[in-house]
């Protein structure tokens, strides 16, 4: 068992019965094209008549954006892994309570650029916080709001980023070992949750990738 106490994530309903909106998250390494694809999916769903909220983590609320700035700011140096996990979870709790849960309950589809899998991959596999601890910290923050579908984006077998660029923030600037553990962690999460996490290879370019994602979502929402 890799994630949390035995069966804990699986014990949660795939979709909270009270929520009527669909919840879709995007995951991947830096520059994997998540943000572009999340926007494409929002535009497509809106063109199909859905009411959609696109948000991101960390952030998406005024408090969450403050926490984001703190977490990504180079000048804050290293933060203890557990503290970091709590800070991401705090931003997540604020986003879930004020945006995600009300939207789902109102029947709005929510698209989130990163969610709990980022904490499992980065703070868990990347920094070595136990996955059980990540889950314990996040369980109240998520409050049963688990995505119906998660797209894991990347190019190539090991989720390499499409573009090589200078690190822009405190987390991107970590060593290659950290980023390798994150990538391997994502692969393990995908194998662990094959019903929810769908791998999308972005090498064919933006438009074909967007079509692949639309096909999967159409299956989910019976379009």
Least CB distance from residue 91 to ligand TYD, whole Å?
8
Least CB distance from residue 66 to ligand TYD, whole Å?
14
Compare residues 63 and 72 and give the one whose CB is closer to ligand TYD: 72
Residue 34 near residue 27 (C-beta atoms within 8 A): yes
Compare residues 65 and 105 and give the one whose CB is closer to ligand TYD: 65
The position carrying tokens 């984001």 is 68
d(CA 158, CA 89): 26
Number of H helices, E strands in the chain: 8, 5
Compare residues 43 and 168 and give the one whose CB is closer to ligand TYD: 168
* Residues near ligand TYD (CB under 6 A): 30, 34, 57-58, 72, 88, 114, 118-119, 122-123, 171-172
Please state the φ and ψ torsions of residue 192, each to the nearest 5 degrees: -75, -35
Which letter does DSSP use for residue 160 in this model?
Answer: B
Least CB distance from residue 107 to ligand TYD, whole Å?
25
Taking the CA atoms of the chain, what radius of gyration do you get in angstroms? 16
Least CB distance from residue 114 to ligand TYD, whole Å?
4
């Amino acid at each position: 068992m890799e994630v949390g106490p035995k069966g804990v994530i699986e014990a949660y309903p795939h979709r909270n019965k009270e929520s009527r909106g669909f919840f879709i998250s995007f995951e991947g390494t830096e520059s994997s094209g998540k943000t572009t694809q999340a926007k494409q999916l929002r535009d497509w769903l809106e063109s199909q008549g859905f009411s959609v909220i696109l948000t991101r983590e960390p952030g998406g609320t005024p408090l969450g954006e403050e926490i984001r700035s703190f977490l990504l700011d180079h000048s804050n140096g290293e933060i203890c892994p557990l503290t970091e996990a709590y800070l991401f979870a705090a931003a997540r709790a604020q986003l879930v309570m004020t945006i995600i849960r009300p939207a789902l309950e109102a029947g709005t589809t929510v698209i989130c650029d990163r969610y709990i899998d980022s904490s499992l991959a980065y703070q868990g596999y990347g920094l070595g916080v136990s996955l059980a601890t990540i889950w314990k910290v996040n369980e109240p923050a998520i409050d049963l709001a688990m995505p119906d579908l998660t797209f894991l984006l990347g190019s190539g077998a090991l989720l390499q980023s499409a573009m090589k660029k200078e690190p822009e923030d405190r987390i991107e600037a970590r060593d290659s070992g950290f980023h390798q553990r994150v990538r391997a962690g994502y692969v393990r999460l995908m194998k662990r949750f094959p019903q929810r996490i769908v791998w999308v290879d972005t090498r064919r370019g933006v438009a074909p990738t967007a079509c692949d994602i639309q096909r999967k979502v159409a299956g989910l929402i019976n379009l």
